[in-house]
Chain A
């Protein structure tokens, strides 16, 4: 029986030099791979167009759980802007303040309305609106997160 040691070594080397991860890595997979425990992370909802799922790390279960959603209503908004808004939202929820200033990318005033508890159920529901200075404001997105995340 002959053993090709070169082949055996090559197999082991694959594990030592992992392929570089691309920037589009799933946040949940990245968190598991790196062991980083950011409280809130987001990713595109595979089921709903221009919609994002928000996950929260649960220490008891040791895993991320679905905690909310960000559903874009104004589909004409550029993806770049929506992505940066989500990053800003996660930054704030994670207690950081290094926000991306996107004021130069928009020409509208950003407003928000908190939906009354009686209508929002067991979630905190916030309607985000755009106001361009004329007429009435238009709905931009709906952000929902499990009740209790925000301080009362």
Chain B
């Protein structure tokens, strides 16, 4: 119980923390990301006129 610290206790404090939304959903999206035409950050793709 963490009632000594803030007066509240989570009903599932015996389970480990889940993690942040960004961390969990980032992994979730990564496992199902089948995008084949991923943009490349390579300098080769930058048009010289843009430099």
Contacts and interface: CB of A to CB of B under 8 A. Distances in A.
Given A56-B12, A105-B34, A89 B28 contact: yes
Given A58-B11, A112-B25, A107 B32 contact: no
Interface string B32-49: 111111100000000000
Contacts of A133: 35, 37
Contact of B32 (A102, A131, A150, A152): A102
B18 A149 contact: yes
Interface of A: 39, 56-60, 81, 84-85, 88-89, 92-93, 95, 97, 99-112, 114, 124, 126, 128, 131-133, 148-152
Interface residues of B, number: 25
A99 B15 CA distance: 20
Interface of B: 10-12, 14-21, 24-25, 27-38
Given A59-B11, A60-B11, A95-B16, A124 B31 contact: no
Given A92-B27, A124-B21, A150-B21, A59 B32 contact: no
A69 to B, nearest CB: 16
Contacts of B10: 148
Contacts of B25: 112, 114, 126
